[in-house]
Amino acid sequence: MIKKHVIKWLFGAMVITLPATFAACEKDNNAVSGAGVDDQYKAILNEYVESTVAPTYKSLAEAALEMRTANAALKNGQSQAAIEAAAGAWMKARVFWEKSEAFLFGPVGPDGFDIDGHIDSWPLEKSEIDQVLATDAAGLTGEIAWGTLDAEVIGFHVTEYLLFRDGKARASLTDAELKYLTAATDALVWDCVLAYVAWVGEENVSAEIGSVFRENPEVVAALSNKSSFKNFASMLKNATGNYEGHLPAAVSEISNGAADIAGEVGETKIAEPFASGAVENVESWYSWHSLDDYGNNIISIKNAYYGGIDRITPHSNSLSAFVASKNAKLDEDIKNKIEDCLTKIAAIGNGGKSFYEVVRDHSNEAEVDAAVDACAELEALLASVETGIIL
């Protein structure tokens, strides 16, 4: 299950050199303390939660419901237009999920409900999928899919597999595939809704989202059994629960979550499949959506760091603004490297190629190397924020 393992970059050892201005800074020049700083931390956390995390998960939950509606329509009357609509709905939901990957902690992480592992593991277990299609699809329900099937046969990638081939929506699906798609989509919807409800609290979601959350008693029980993850947003913003009395630890989640996904994009999503040549290890390769996924992961970092969604400049209460107040050079380097990553990831597709084709043909190696380097450099810069600025 590649998603849940850290795979070392296979292109050889690499040394990351932090900006000289950062390395030269004395710790006491960057250290923060006192009530004034606590207020700044709380403002940063509030902006991060209310303007980045909560709206992203809200959009994800709503897009997952649109996907369910499109797939139900496809099951009720198969046509090319219906398949195209279902594929488009998958794409929309996928974008919001990838834009959430800079904050894969709390309810979504392994200490919570491991929604990340449940919703986004790859490569798929093709033999198990074939088994479900051959013998189990007729009786498969969303409840069974969510509660008993392995992560590698549900989630975004099995629904992608059922809807796409070679970067295009399929021409048709069998009855078994349609039943599998319906059940897997229900499971996906509940994971997306659980992420949103756990973060913001059931009392703070729409009646429709609350109703969907309560459809599956096992989903409700999961949150009830881990009450420390109820309304995780409040815990993070106020440094309660696991963050009790330690605001810097809460703020560090922002930079550490961003650093983690920068490293994963470079090492696991790009470098490993390219080095091995194993196309099955390419994420989102049935839809040829891989490079979009990776770019959206970097956008998730930008949103987390800037304090909002698709901001051109950082919010005044963003982590970026706070870093800039302590080390303007480091902040500028991080912002420039984010843009550099976006540019270099897109360049992997030079010649109109999908990442699947790049890996299959072992082409565009220079562009791959440049993107992997940029992601590693961004990871190092973001990781330096915790020790150099926050703590």
Mean pLDDT of the chain: 91
The DSSP 8-state label assigned to residue 169 in this structure reads E
Q: Which residues contact 240 (CB under 8 A, 6 or more apart)?
A: 234
User: What number of other Cβ atoms are within 10 A of residue 12's Cβ?
Assistant: 5
pLDDT score for 289: 96
Residue 136 banded pLDDT, cuts 50, 70, 90: confident
- What does pTM read for this prediction? 0.91
165's enclosing H/E stretch is strand 164-165
pLDDT above 70 (res 368):
yes
The answer, yes or no, to whether residue 20 has pLDDT greater than 60, is no
Q: What is the pLDDT of residues 219-273, one digit of tens each?
A: 999 999 999 999 999 999 999 988 988 999 999 999 999 999 999 999 999 999 9
Window from 12-16, 31-35, 312-316, 361-365 with minimum mean pLDDT: 12-16
Helix (H) or strand (E) holding 117: helix 115-119
Which residue pairs, CB below 8 angstroms and at least 24 apart, start in 343-347? 344/370, 344/371, 344/374, 345/265, 345/270, 345/291, 345/294, 345/295, 345/298, 345/371, 345/374, 345/375, 346/291, 346/295, 347/371
Q: Specify the pLDDT at position 354.
A: 97
**Model confidence at 383: pLDDT above 70:** yes
